[in-house]
Every structure is written in structure tokens, then in C-alpha cells.
Amino acid sequence: MEIKELLTQKIKDKLPDVQFTTVEFRSELSIIINKKDIVKLCLFLKDDPDLAFNFCEDVTAIDWARRNQRFTVVYHIFSMKNKFRLRLKCDVEEDDCKIDSVSSVWKTADWEERETYDMYGIHFNNHPDLRRMFMPEEFEFYPLRKDFPLMGIPGSLPLPKK
């Protein structure tokens, strides 16, 4: 059976209470799920012997700049056994910017989630060490949000004196 049908079939069988929709574009499969199911699904995808998604490539977020469900957290995972790449997406509200961390499933997600927190302000629950990644710790804003200007906010980053 092809890997895409096998995947959807297995999720329907083993995790019946996880609701998901699939989108396919340019032969890439994306699965959109609810944010409370993310750790359960990731554990299942990693531990299943046929699917074996053992490699987490990327964790990031998109800011849609709209009132409802402003952010979408995106995970790219890869299965070395089947040579298949999958994308998982969860919507996050602006008022309740929290989602569970998958760093307990793949250690790669540790720094990637820190970077997402630094750039977008999305808080990851149960993360071992949630600090800012690139910007200095005293920085108050989240640079990749759509309401942050490209040139920055004057005075937010101090410069040494001449």
C-alpha cells in the first residue's frame, strides 16, 4: 500500500479520537490537527514500526495576521525507512499562545522551538529550557510577527558609546 494511504489508514485505526484533515500540494502531504493532540500523534508516528518517523527536520510558525487563529505551528518530520516527508500543522490563537512541546519526542525540536518562541512569542509547555535564541534576553518584542517593522523599533537595542 502506498505510504500516504497507509498513513491516513493507521491514524484512523489507532487514534480514532484525533481529528485531522489532509492537504496535498506538489506531491507533499500536510496534516492539520488540533493543538491538543500534537504530542500524542508525534509519539505514535515515531514509535510505529511501519511508519518510523524518526527524524524531525524543522519546527516553525506562520503569522497570518488575522483575528482568529493568528498563528500556525508547522512541523516537518521525515521517515528514513520509507524516505517520506510529512508536514503537521496546528492553529494557535493569539490570546492563548501556548502549545505542548515535542522536545520529549525528538531532541531536535529543542532549539527549533526556542527559535520559534524568540521570533513569534509562542510559548511551549514542558520545554526543558525556553530562552530566547537569537535576540538578547532583554529584548521585549517578537521580531517575525507581522506588526514588528523591518527596521526595528528605535531604542529597543542599545549600542555602545563612542
Partner 1 sequence: MGLEAKLNQDSFFTTTIDAIAAWARKNSVWPMPMGISCCAIEMMAVGDPKYDIARFGSEVMRFTPRQCDLMIVAGTVTYKMAHVVKKIYDQMPDPKWVIAMGACTSSGGMYRSYNVVQGIDQFLPVDVYLAGCPPRPDNLLNALIMIQDKIGKSKARDFQDEPLTEYPIHIKN
Partner 2 sequence: MEKVTKDNSRSKILDALLADKDITVEDALENEMILNMGPQHPATHGVLRLLLRLDGETIVSCVPELGYLHRGYEKMAENMTYLEFIPHTDRLDYLAPLSNNVAWALAVEKLIGIEAPPRAQYIRMLICELSRIASHLVAIGAFAMDVGALTVFLWTLREREKILDIWDILCGARFTTSFTRIGGVANDIQPEAIAKADWFINQFDDNLAECEYLLNNNRIFIDRLEGVGVVSGEDAVQLGLTGPTLRGSGVEYDLRRDMPYLYYNDLDFKVITYNEGDCLARYFVRVDECRESAKMVKQILSKLPKGNILTNDPKKVLPDKVEIYTKMEELIHDFMIVNFGINPPVGEIYSAIENPKGELGFYIVSKGEGHPWKCKIRSPSMVNCQGLPHMIKGRMVSDVVAIVGSIDPVMGEADK
Strands 28-33 and 84-92: parallel
Q: Which is nearer to partner 1, 128 or 152 (CB)?
A: 152
CA distance 55 to 107: 10
**In angstroms, rounded to a whole number, what is the distance separating the alpha carbons of residues 54 and 56?**
7
Position 157 contacts partner 1 (CB under 8 A)? yes
Q: Mind spelling out the 3-state secondary structure of 48-108? A: CCCCCCCEEEEEEEEECCCCCCCEEEEEEEEECCCCEEEEEEEEECCCCCEEECCCCCCCC
Tell whether residue 150 is a contact of partner 1 (CB under 8 A).
yes
List 58, 93, 98, 152, residue binding partner 1 (CB under 8 A):
152
Is 135 a binder of partner 1 (CB under 8 A)?
yes
Tell me if 113 sits within 8 A of 101, measured CB to CB: yes
Any idea of the CA torsion for 39, 27, 52, 103, to the nearest 10 degrees? -30
Task: Map residues 115-134 to x or -, x wherever contact with partner 1 holds by CB under 8 A.
Answer: -------------------x
HSE at residue 119, side-chain half, CA atoms within 13 A, is 16
161 binds, options partner 2, partner 1, none, Cβ within 5 to 8 A by partner type: partner 1
Q: Is 151 in the site for partner 1 (CB under 8 A)?
A: yes
Length of the chain: 162
Of these partners, partner 2, partner 1, none, which one is at the site of residue 20 (CB under 5 to 8 Å by kind)? Answer: none
Using CB under 8 A, pick the residue from 16, 49, 136, 155 that binds partner 1. 136
Q: Measured from the CB atom, is 78 or 139 closer to partner 1?
A: 139
Q: Residue 9 binds which entry of partner 2, partner 1, none, with Cβ cut-offs from 5 to 8 Å by kind?
A: none
Residues of this chain that interact with partner 1 (CB under 8 A) are: 134-136, 143, 148-153, 157-162
